[in-house]
Amino acid sequence: EYAQIRGAITGITLLSSSPRISRNDISKNDTGLSISDPFSAPDIKNNVISENRLTGVMVLAGGSPVLEGNEIKYNSNEGIASENSSPVISHNTISNNGNCGIKSFLSSPKVIENNIHDNGKFELYNSDPKGELVTANNNWWGSSDISEIVSGISGKVDYGTSLDGPY
């Protein structure tokens, strides 16, 4: 807790581990956090994950973290990238990331009650060729205008209900 992690290739790497990472500044690395392997189910809570040169949070190879209450912003590519994993993403602010807020590939993330807005090309991009559904209900997408919400989402995403304002 209460650490400042900067200037690394990867700020924090979790392999088959499930610690609680909370109240840290994880900024200005190549990748902020990398979480992988099926036994990785950490609690990542109340951190600032920003200004990383590539991705804020990378979840791979069966990782299933809980990402809650974080500010994930100003990362050059994605705020969160999920590949072959199943993270729970809730109560975060995911904004101003270069390419997209959340990118999912062959994953089944649960994206619930977040503020996801002002990201590059997409707020949420599901690039899964097999059509794995990403659940993303009750989020604030920076607007209550359905056409604006739809234009920021790509791929098979269930966003049937959205919030009228920030959670």
Q: Cβ contacts of residue 33 below 8 Å, gap of 6+?
A: 10, 11, 12, 13, 14, 21, 26, 44, 49, 56, 57, 58
- pLDDT tens digits, residue range 20-76? 999 999 999 999 999 999 889 999 999 999 999 999 999 999 999 999 999 999 999
- Cα separation, 63 vs 87, in Å, equals 7
- pLDDT tens digits, residue range 95-133? 999 999 999 999 989 999 999 999 999 999 999 867 788
